[in-house]
């Protein structure tokens, strides 16, 4: 028999029951919840007189709706305040651990989990949020679920799911100057389209991924969803183990050593067969930016918007509609285009490494007058670390201001909205119509590219500053 993929090993070890000609009943090791998808789930439990089955496997934090200024004051928006208050009420009633506003562990759920050592190799992890795939960077099977499924996991610690197909994406070689994790994943999505991974769980392999930090790997796995995949994962290695070592809820001492011994067995067997295999050369990847209204509409930052003749006939109508929304024309050069907002943050690029990169880039420089820049840490711990490392002082001297933790301008569910018709270069994960505010025009890029745009006031190649 052929060997197993990493995904197969983890999935198969968590199947409680296989329904004949149907889905698997899968045990969930860790359930992460926030204020958006949990109220209805808790209401469903209450209606049936049920309690959360395993509170020690459930962790909550508010992130989507929270304001990023004046977090010590009552939330002004009625709906946001209601959802955050409801999360607090539900967690208190059910005995679920909650890192609420102003708690030192509060933050974006997909930043908090890894940072605290809650996320570990070999786990199954779910959350009522599509970007749960982030946790796959640790060699876990992590994916987003819907509200009814959130209720199911709260009640049973299990989930009914059909097993996904397996895809491996290999990127070998060395990355060029100014190219990072965000550019890798934007490049891949541009190559295979925003639906190229539909139906698959993707394993990322090759030297380009092995050479990434854990934070870079999280960026890659985070955006697996943007190619339509169910999730993404990277086999754990020494980089993974060292990242986890010493974190708050990670195993300690002899228990850590025993855990690492098990984690070392989490890899794809040499003779395992994938349903699909893709290969890319790292040398072909340049700093990337999106021009359209899905993450697959991306080009190198020095490139042009495609011409209509470059687009398959079946996609030309949506392509033209997208360019009309973005205020762009086919063949247009993006370099030199003026931008209004720069957003650095989100579960894709709101970690300490991202803030360090921006601070290093802007040190000794000054933000352009036409740019409104929002730098939003992914958690209270990132915020604290940025202050202790002097990053905040560097950013402030360059004309930036560090806001308080939350999802912020990644999505228009809080007060941080991009005004209609304005252009935002964003380190977040989605550039859909209205994603950052009604009529907002979003261009996805890496933190380095975003920093270069903030300093220049227009789209530039970050390599020009080297």
Alpha-carbon span 159 to 13, nearest angstrom: 14
Is the model's pLDDT at 97 over the cut of 90?
yes
Give the domains, in start order, of the chain with CATH numbers: 1-286 (3.30.499.10), 289-460 (3.30.499.10)
pLDDT category of residue 2 using cuts at 50, 70 and 90:
confident
**Secondary structure of residue 357 in the 3-state scheme:** helix
**Secondary structure of residue 129 in the 3-state scheme:** coil
Q: Which of 417, 320, 383, 307 is closest to 104 using CA atoms?
A: 383
Is the model's pLDDT at 466 over the cut of 80?
no
| pLDDT score at 401 | 87
Q: Which of 37, 266, 35 is closest to 141 using CA atoms?
A: 266
Alpha-carbon span 419 to 66, nearest angstrom: 19
pLDDT category of residue 268 using cuts at 50, 70 and 90:
very high
| pLDDT score at 125 | 98
pLDDT per residue over 116-171, tens digit each? 999 999 999 999 999 999 999 999 999 999 999 999 999 999 999 999 999 999 99
Residue 205: how many other CB atoms lie within 10 Å: 21
Residues 6 or more apart from 272 whose CB is under 8 A from it?
A: 2, 3, 4, 5, 8
Note the pTM of the prediction, 2 decimals.
0.97
What is the Rg, in whole angstroms, of the alpha carbon atoms belonging to the chain? 21
- Bridge partners for 386 per DSSP: none
| pLDDT score at 140 | 98
Question: Residue 408 — left, alpha, or beta (φ > 0 → left; ψ -120 to 50 → alpha)?
Answer: left
pLDDT per residue over 176-188, tens digit each? 999 999 999 999 9
């Amino acid at each position: 028999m052929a060997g197993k993929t990493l995904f197969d090993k983890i999935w198969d070890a968590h199947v409680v029951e296989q329904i004949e000609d149907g889905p698997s009943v899968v045990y969930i090791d860790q359930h992460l919840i926030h204020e958006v998808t949990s109220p209805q789930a808790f209401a469903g439990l209450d209606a049936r007189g049920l309690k959360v089955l395993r509170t020690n496997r459930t962790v909550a934090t508010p992130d989507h709706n929270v304001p990023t200024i004046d977090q010590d004051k009552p939330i002004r928006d009625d709906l946001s305040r209601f959802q955050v208050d409801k999360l607090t009420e539900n967690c208190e009633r059910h005995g679920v651990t909650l890192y609420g506003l102003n708690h030192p562990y509060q933050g974006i759920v997909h930043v908090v989990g890894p940072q605290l050592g809650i996320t570990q190799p070999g786990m199954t992890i779910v959350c009522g949020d599509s970007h749960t795939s982030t946790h796959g960077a640790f060699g876990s099977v992590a994916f987003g679920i819907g509200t009814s499924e959130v209720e199911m996991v709260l009640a049973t610690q299990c989930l009914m799911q059909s097993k996904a197909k397996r895809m491996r994406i290999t990127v070998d070689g060395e990355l060029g100057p100014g190219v990072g994790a965000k550019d890798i994943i934007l490049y891949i999505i541009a190559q295979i389209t925003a639906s190229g991974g539909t139906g698959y769980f993707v394993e990322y392999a090759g030297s380009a991924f092995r050479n990434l930090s854990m934070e870079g790997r999280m960026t890659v796995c985070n955006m697996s969803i943007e190619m339509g995949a169910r999730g993404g994962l990277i086999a754990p290695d020494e980089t993974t183990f060292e990242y986890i070592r010493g974190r708050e809820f990670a195993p300690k001492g002899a228990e850590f050593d025993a855990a690492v011994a098990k984690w070392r067995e989490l890899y794809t067997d040499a003779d395992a067969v994938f349903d699909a295999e893709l290969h890319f050369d790292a040398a072909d990847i340049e700093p990337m930016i999106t021009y359209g209204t899905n993450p697959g509409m991306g080009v190198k930052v020095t490139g042009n918007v495609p011409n209509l003749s470059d687009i398959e006939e079946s996609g030309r109508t949506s392509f033209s509609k997208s360019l009309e929304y973005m205020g762009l024309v086919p063949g247009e050069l993006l370099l030199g285009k003026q931008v209004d907002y720069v957003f650095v943050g989100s579960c894709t690029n709101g970690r300490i490494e991202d803030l360090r990169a921006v601070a290093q880039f802007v040190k000794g420089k000054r933000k352009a007058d036409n740019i409104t820049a929002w730098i939003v840490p992914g958690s209270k711990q990132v915020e604290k670390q940025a202050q202790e490392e002097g990053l905040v002082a560097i950013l402030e001297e360059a004309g930036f201001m560090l806001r308080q933790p939350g999802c912020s301008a990644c999505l228009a569910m809080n007060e941080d909205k991009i005004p209609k018709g304005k252009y935002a270069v964003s380190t977040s994960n989605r550039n859909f119509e209205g994603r950052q505010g009604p009529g907002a025009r979003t261009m996805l890029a890496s933190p380095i590219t975003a920093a270069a745009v903030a300093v220049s006031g227009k789209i530039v190649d970050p390599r020009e500053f080297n």
